Structure 1
Amino acid sequence: MFCIPENFMSRYLLFICIAMQCSFMLNSARAQENKHQLTGVIVDSLSQKGGEYFTIVLKKDTSAIKSAVSDAHGKFTFAGIGEGQYTLMIGSLGYKPKQLAVKLTRDMDLGKIVVSPSGNELNEVSVAASRPIIKQEPDRIVYDIQADVENKVLSVMDMMRKVPLLSVDADDNVKLKGTGNYRILINGKPSGILTRDPKEYLKSMPASGVQKIEVITTPPSKYESEGLSGIINIITSRKMENGYNGNVNVRHQFPGGPSGNLNLTFKQGNFGANLYGGTGIWQVHGIKITDVRNSRGKAAPSSLYSLGFQEIDNRWGWGGGELSYEIDSLNLITAEVNPYGGYNQQDLNQHFDIRDGSVSSGYDMDSRTRYEWSGTDYTLNYQKGFKNKKEHLLTFSYKFFDNSAPQGNDVMFNNRINFTGLNYRQDNNSISREHTAQIDYINPFKKLTVEAGVKAIIRNGESNFQYLNFNAAQNDYLIDPAQSNVYSNQQDIFGVYNTYTLKLKDWTFKAGARLEGTYVTGNFESTNSSVKSDYFNLIPSVSLNRTLKNSQSLSLGFTQRIQRPGIWDLNPFVDKSRPNFEYFGNPDLEATLSNNFELTYSNFKKGSLNLSLSYNFSNNTQQQVSEYIAAENLTRVTSFNIGKNKLLGLNANFNYPITAKWSLNASANLNYIWLEGMINGILTKNSGLTGYANLTTGYKFEKNWKTNLSFNYGAPDVMLQGQSNNYYYVAVSGSKDIIKDKLTFSALVANPFKKYRAYRNYTEGTNFTQERIRENPFRRINLSMSWKFGKLKGSIKKNERSINNDDTKKTSN
């Protein structure tokens, strides 16, 4: 990172850079190259249906100059092609290769190109070609959810266990390369429903409504520089076509509850609409929670032991509508509205035994914690195309985000022994609003593609928190001003980027940089004080890909990433929902920079093989720290910029079609992590191996029966002050198409031999050790039904560029 001192460069210089970038994009948009477009449709000779995922290569003389993959309808397009004589080569597993001679003097549509299955059988031929599940690109891995036979029965959370580089631990925390520092986007955009903790939404989101999941390990410069490990992009949008269609999915999980979602697509002429929504309930009880803490190094040792049981009632609803209007073939307007809401209520009954030297005390605690969330995302995009080539685009985007996330804690004590603590309540009303304006420009020349853009993000967050003690004399709860406050946070980010992609015969080079200015102000109302932080960052991103023989490739990438603290990391509200433990944010947190290197080998000759080696390091990292205050018999937990991290990782993924009906997928990730940081003036270090392994096999039977078996293992997480325990997950599923491609019934059984699974989190400091054990429901059964209806023709365009705010920390905890 090249860091520019504040006294040298002000925000006005950044505004000049943004203005120059806008001028560059608008002037470049006027300069159009006179090239032609070549299109066609691949058609299966037997079924007369479009050929999906065919590889089409365009050659001039003996050199391949462009390649493409046909879409779900067999369509392919080459843009920006000069006049001349070409050879079109078409191929796919299970089909005879085909070549066509093409003389290009103008825009040309080749129409239907018929391909024949390979083999010389005299009887009726049945071809069951395997759709590739995993695709390796220079800066990311793409997992095709629709190619996975379990997409109709699993949730997105369950599906993430199969995605290379991703893992899900025993407490349902999603990890990217073994860490929780990443960003999650939906269709390349942030969503308010993922603001604080995405796992509840991911558990409720059916995989059948997702196209693919992208794991972007070397994000190009068009993305915000946030997310130390990378970006997880969930693609749900599908092509909208003439006519209408829709699908209904309902499922019931035992234990848990029912959930369902509906999607309806309509298109008439240049107008298209996509309406969708979902709701669900997840209720569980009997979650056993144990806390153990022991002091050390004290003449009079102290200890805490608690045991309790928790019930959870989680309910949610979400929806949305997307409208698209093609003014003409070159101008497109889209708008989207996404409301959502829900709550998570946790009732806990817990007994505490506390010993401080020779003094013993104890009590029973009844607590209720309720998290609520509601909000709406609004998005508006305008896309302008140019006649000379399809990929030449200029896009203007605006997004408004409004979110409310109140939290309430109600704690009561009974059966007291030597304990005088008061019953209390906590209320934290938190709201956040965000405005984003963005311009993106892309212009592909013959071998070089230029991308540029500018962006402004204006964020406002506020937390009004109150602490109320029960006053027996007045028989009421009274506010404690010393523990109540109003905290507001203003964060403004301005950025400009350029990316260049050079495609040669066997090489692809991508390089770019992003300049960002960040201005942060935090205000405390009751003390009339504030904290400020302004900084500039120049973030490079470089990747290259070498295509080898026999469908092999080699990729190398480097990028820097920033972790900015989010509002929940900065919010000083002290969460006391667990007596003897306090959790709070730190308004003084600063941004952290990470350096990431990655080398990847891919082989797609038959099936796929991906091997990657990665290394990253960072200083001044944000680390969660637990401190034991012996005088108060209390553990306080917050975050500080004290850490130094290093990670060396190896990832492998193997996907192989054993037969046309039997597939095998195996993946594994192994990381060695080094952590260190100063805690109260004492250097603390920890290191160790972590990672995961996954094995999945699926078989397609006759009469539209399908089955899958999967096994997952996760090694313990390594943290600065401790570690978690290992875990495993096993599941078997099956599905039956009652009406082919229309009505499907599915079932899944997971972990049938164990009802509960203990998630252990061990932490130690200079004067204490503590362990928290949470026994979550482990055995479960899912039943689901999926129904598709309607018929569509043609297709409707969507914006190629949209807002993707990936610039604040998203952790899995």
Structure 2
Amino acid sequence: MKKYIFIFCFVLVINLLKAQETKTHAIVGSFKSEVPMFILLKNTIDSTLLRATVCDSASYFCFDDLLAGDYYVEVSSDKKTGHLLKKNILITTNSESIVDIGEYNRIDVFIQNLPGVVIESPKRQVYEQELGKFTFNVKHSDFAKGNKAMDALRITPMVTIGLDEDIQVLGQSPTIYFNGRKSNLNKTSLVQYLKALPAGQVAKIEVITMPSAKYEAAGSGGIINIVFTRSSQMGLQGNVEWNYTQLHYANNSPALNLEFNSKKWRLFTNGGYNQNRNYREVAHHIVYNTSSGPQIWDKYYWARQKLNGSYFIQTGAEFFYNDNHTFYISLTGNYGKQDLFGLDTTKVYQPGNVLTDSILKTVNEDNNKNKDYAIDFYHTYKDEKRNIEWESGIGYFNSNSDGQQLLNSTTTDINNEFIGELGYMQQRTNSFRGFNAQSDLLMSVLNNSKLKTGLKYSYTDARFPLQWYDGVNGSLIENEQRSDNYKIIEHIAAAYTELMLKIHERIKIQVGLRGEYTNNQVNNVVLDNLIQKSYFQVFPTLLTQYLISNNHIIAGGVTRRIGRPNYGFLNPGKRYENPYKYSIGNPYLNAGSSINSQLMYTFKQRYSCVIFYTNGKNTIYNIPITDPVKQTVYLMPQNVGREQSISIQLNFPIGLLKNRWILSNSIRYSGSEATVPDIEYKAPWKFYWSIQHNETFKITKNGKSRIGLDINYVSSHLYGVQTVGSMATLDINISRDFFKDRCTIKVIGRNLLDTHNQTMERMDESGSYYQKLYSNDRGFTVSLSWNFQTGFKRKTKNKQSLTEDQKGRTQL
């Protein structure tokens, strides 16, 4: 093992030293245009064309690896008409490594291909690090094909998928955004949607650990912003994808993505179906400390989802009224169905008396349907002469979940003699609906400074009716004492202001202040019991960046966040797994808060080291509690009294063999500690490792045949006050492009280590709780995707748009 580590470090050092042998320079700039334009680099002496790339709306261009010389940059529509803009640059051996020539203005023209010119794409980095934000460019990785958005999240640095598919950032719960707008899907629907959405329809995943004042303060783990792909190719283009996955059960997942662009309109539709039948096993070992001595429960539970699938669709349009006004509307829908069958076998060992030992068998049938849809409408106004941008919008969402759970428990003694039988059924009809409205204004003030301000209001109405039936003599009779109806109403009003200052050529500062007023009501309709909470909190943000040199950047920041309890946590209704284990909400939860700070160092805008520190108060976790009197275990959300965590993250991509072998590496070392005053329990500091490693090797020089490797490892760590065991996954894939790169076939070997299982344990004075979850995820996926486009020519002679391959732009 030490030998391989030494070779790895030796190759890394050699590559870094090699980059320092000859001083090279880069010319960078930015360009704004309604359509793509050619950016040309020429020699001033003889006007020889040296480089060419393409730049479109709000994109950067970069010509790197340049030696000292006399150059000039042109922006051109075609070779015959000549340049539209020209900039001369003289580079000497004493020049900075990066020469920034600023921003070009918008030019509203259409372009024609340059004959005889090879279009270069900028270097596409899979991982990018900025102050307070880490970006995983899914579109630029070979991972995009054959996987789902949930799989992409699983390998995103700083993101972990915990027990029960909880999405976490640095051990905290984030807020999920799509295209910069907050998602209103509940947890179940969100997981279904991410499992159905192909990763190929995701351009990038932004992990915003230090959100500015513009974003909602909710989410102690920051924000995960999932940005969908979009094209500026004129005409119709799209993608058809079909995946076949064989794990414990066979699953199929077809998907379709369509987009049509014209000068005035952009129409888009994507949808698909995801079949997700699976099998899992759970083992529990519970010890109750009773007055007679420890009572031991050994539980074994297995469950299979016989019918589990979801449909999703997103459709919408953008209308470019003129250079100033843009209108956007979208409709997102999700429908999921789950049919679960499980068997729970529990052996109970009484202290000091083997005659009372017993065996409990519980059959669990749970059927659930989720139906969600959301409508968003936005208007954007831009005035580039006055440097003003104003966006306002409104959205409505509706989510419904209909479920029925039937349990039948039989108790026998150790000789299999019948003791008793118990059965009951729950019917749930949960619903969420509401709307939100927001308005944001961005303007330039003073010199090199920008001011952003905005308002937002949201309203949510959540209802949790529950009907309970007891099994009596083979019949189900409603139990009105356990039937209930809970209603939750929440209002949130917010205002913010942030100022972005460039006080020096090397120093940038961003300061912001956000205020939020929250009114929350939890109403037990049957008992007419109302729990109401109202509070106003302020959330400051400070971000700074110092440019030491063109190769060295240091940045830091601090922000305050809030962690509001989700509606499911507030619902006090019980949901049983068997008569002795259930989940229950807590309507008395308080909103948690945290102070997050970050320090980052970046080398050559490629390698980075980031240090995070979080100091949280009243953080919410779902904690298992043992009750030795009633001999039950129940999961109940609790406010953690105080929680601290610290993380150090290294990101270092490596290109070998002239970039035919690309390795993306992310290593994180973290630690946390927490206390829960209500149950008088403290989890001391525990440190752990998290490693994400992805690599792609181009088997052929043209890159049409590739082989890839994805490794994800998380060592044992804390989840609240519970200890979660380590987890490791290893996926290997091989792919091949056909028919001018329009068709791709990919085969993925999934979870080849067969260690996709997790353990969780906790111990206090009342007893101990241990759980091991095993999911049979070893298998393979065969993916087939086909890209098509029907670009059209304009009536104007010899004017057409670029293809997606010709654009080669860097997503921002």
- 1:50 equivalenced with 2:54 (yes/no): yes
Q: 1:693 to 1:197 in 2, by over 3 A?
A: farther
Cα distance in 1 for residues equivalent to 2:286 and 2:681? 22
Question: How far apart are residue 610 of structure 1 and its match?
Answer: 1.4
Determine which of 228, 232, 257 is the counterpart of 2:251.
Answer: 257
Residue identity in the other structure for 1:688:
K
Number of equivalenced pairs: 717
Cα distance in 1 for residues equivalent to 2:112 and 2:263? 27
Cα distance in 2 for residues equivalent to 1:110 and 1:395? 25
Determine which of 36, 41, 44 is the counterpart of 2:38.
Answer: 41
Question: How far apart are residue 304 of structure 1 and its match?
Answer: 1.4
Q: Any gaps of 5 or more consecutive residues in structure 2?
A: 1-29, 42-48, 64-72, 79-84, 792-799, 804-812
Q: Determine if contact 1:41/1:113 at 8 Å carries over to the other structure.
A: no
Q: How does 1:116-515 map to 2 (within 5 A)?
A: 130-169=123-162, 172-177=165-170, 179-196=171-188, 198-255=190-247, 256-285=250-279, 287-296=280-289, 298-312=291-305, 313-357=307-351, 358=353, 359-388=356-385, 392-414=388-410, 416-417=412-413, 419-445=419-445, 446-472=447-473, 475-503=474-502, 504-515=504-515
- 1:729 equivalenced with 2:719 (yes/no): no
Residue identity in the other structure for 1:727:
M
Q: 1:302 to 1:587 in 2, by over 3 A?
A: same
Q: 1:449 to 1:128 in 2, by over 3 A?
A: closer
- 1:645 equivalenced with 2:643 (yes/no): yes
Instruction: Please name the residue that 2:9 is paired with.
Output: none
Q: 1:316 to 1:111 in 2, by over 3 A?
A: closer
Cα distance in 2 for residues equivalent to 1:144 and 1:477? 54
Residue identity in the other structure for 1:340:
N
Cα distance in 1 for residues equivalent to 2:617 and 2:257? 45
SS in 1 for 2:554: strand
Q: Determine if contact 2:457/2:494 at 8 Å carries over to the other structure.
A: yes
Residue identity in the other structure for 1:559:
T
Cα distance in 2 for residues equivalent to 1:774 and 1:166? 20
SS in 1 for 2:181: coil
SS in 2 for 1:549: coil
Question: How far apart are residue 630 of structure 1 and its match?
Answer: 1.8
Question: How far apart are residue 460 of structure 1 and its match?
Answer: 0.6
Q: Any gaps of 5 or more consecutive residues in structure 1?
A: 1-35, 58-67, 74-83, 118-123, 797-813
Q: Determine if contact 1:409/1:425 at 8 Å carries over to the other structure.
A: yes
Q: Determine if contact 2:32/2:106 at 8 Å carries over to the other structure.
A: yes
Instruction: Please name the residue that 1:32 is paired with.
Output: none
CA deviations on 1:136-176 (whole Å, 9 max, x unpaired) are 22221112111112211222232234422223457654331
TM-score where L is the length of structure 2: 0.82
Q: How does 1:572-611 map to 2 (within 5 A)?
A: 572-604=572-604, 608-611=606-609
SS in 2 for 1:141: strand
Bigger shift: residues 209-218 or 136-145: 136-145
CA deviations on 1:60-109 (whole Å, 9 max, x unpaired) are xxxxxxxx9x9xx9xxxxxxxxxx99756999xxxx9999999x9x9778
Cα distance in 2 for residues equivalent to 1:315 and 1:427? 21
SS in 2 for 1:679: helix
Q: Determine if contact 1:333/1:382 at 8 Å carries over to the other structure.
A: yes
CA deviations on 1:270-303 (whole Å, 9 max, x unpaired) are 1221011110111123x32222211236324322
Question: How far apart are residue 464 of structure 1 and its match?
Answer: 0.1
RMSD: 3.4
Cα distance in 1 for residues equivalent to 2:629 and 2:751? 44
Q: Determine if contact 2:218/2:562 at 8 Å carries over to the other structure.
A: yes
Instruction: Please name the residue that 2:779 is paired with.
Output: 780
Bigger shift: residues 399-408 or 305-314: 305-314
Q: 1:51 to 1:539 in 2, by over 3 A?
A: closer
Question: How far apart are residue 641 of structure 1 and its match?
Answer: 2.4
Cα distance in 2 for residues equivalent to 1:491 and 1:570? 12
CA deviations on 1:338-378 (whole Å, 9 max, x unpaired) are 11110222211222222334222223221112332111100
SS in 1 for 2:220: coil
Q: Determine if contact 1:43/1:51 at 8 Å carries over to the other structure.
A: no
- 1:626 equivalenced with 2:624 (yes/no): yes
Cα distance in 2 for residues equivalent to 1:50 and 1:317? 37
Question: How far apart are residue 683 of structure 1 and its match?
Answer: 4.6
Residue identity in the other structure for 2:361:
D
Q: Determine if contact 2:184/2:397 at 8 Å carries over to the other structure.
A: yes
Q: Determine if contact 1:723/1:761 at 8 Å carries over to the other structure.
A: yes
Question: How far apart are residue 501 of structure 1 and its match?
Answer: 0.7
Q: Determine if contact 1:582/1:635 at 8 Å carries over to the other structure.
A: yes
Q: 1:768 to 1:115 in 2, by over 3 A?
A: farther
SS in 2 for 1:499: strand
Cα distance in 2 for residues equivalent to 1:319 and 1:665? 32
Cα distance in 2 for residues equivalent to 1:125 and 1:795? 14
Q: Determine if contact 1:272/1:325 at 8 Å carries over to the other structure.
A: yes
SS in 2 for 1:150: helix
Residue identity in the other structure for 1:791:
T
Q: Determine if contact 1:622/1:642 at 8 Å carries over to the other structure.
A: yes
Q: 1:354 to 1:538 in 2, by over 3 A?
A: same
Residue identity in the other structure for 1:322:
G
Question: How far apart are residue 324 of structure 1 and its match?
Answer: 1.3
Residue identity in the other structure for 1:477:
L
Question: How far apart are residue 248 of structure 1 and its match?
Answer: 0.7
Cα distance in 2 for residues equivalent to 1:207 and 1:311? 26
CA deviations on 1:389-439 (whole Å, 9 max, x unpaired) are 5x5211110000100123321101246446435201111211011110111
Q: Determine if contact 2:673/2:685 at 8 Å carries over to the other structure.
A: yes
SS in 2 for 1:323: strand
SS in 2 for 1:296: strand
Q: 1:692 to 1:500 in 2, by over 3 A?
A: same
Q: 1:690 to 1:201 in 2, by over 3 A?
A: farther
Q: 1:419 to 1:760 in 2, by over 3 A?
A: farther
Cα distance in 2 for residues equivalent to 1:169 and 1:506? 41
Cα distance in 2 for residues equivalent to 1:622 and 1:479? 34
TM-score where L is the length of structure 1: 0.82
CA deviations on 1:497-549 (whole Å, 9 max, x unpaired) are 00111134122211111011111111111111100000001110110112232
Q: Determine if contact 1:146/1:211 at 8 Å carries over to the other structure.
A: yes
Q: Determine if contact 2:734/2:747 at 8 Å carries over to the other structure.
A: yes
Q: 1:307 to 1:280 in 2, by over 3 A?
A: same
SS in 1 for 2:576: coil
Cα distance in 1 for residues equivalent to 2:622 and 2:32? 55
SS in 2 for 1:218: coil
Cα distance in 1 for residues equivalent to 2:465 and 2:100? 68
Question: How far apart are residue 309 of structure 1 and its match?
Answer: 2.3
Question: How far apart are residue 639 of structure 1 and its match?
Answer: 1.7
Q: 1:640 to 1:775 in 2, by over 3 A?
A: closer
- Give the structure, 1 or 2, with the largest relative contact order (CA under 8 Å, sep 6 or more): 1
SS in 1 for 2:151: helix
Q: Determine if contact 1:403/1:433 at 8 Å carries over to the other structure.
A: yes
- 1:571 equivalenced with 2:571 (yes/no): yes
Instruction: Please name the residue that 1:799 is paired with.
Output: none
Cα distance in 1 for residues equivalent to 2:731 and 2:283? 28
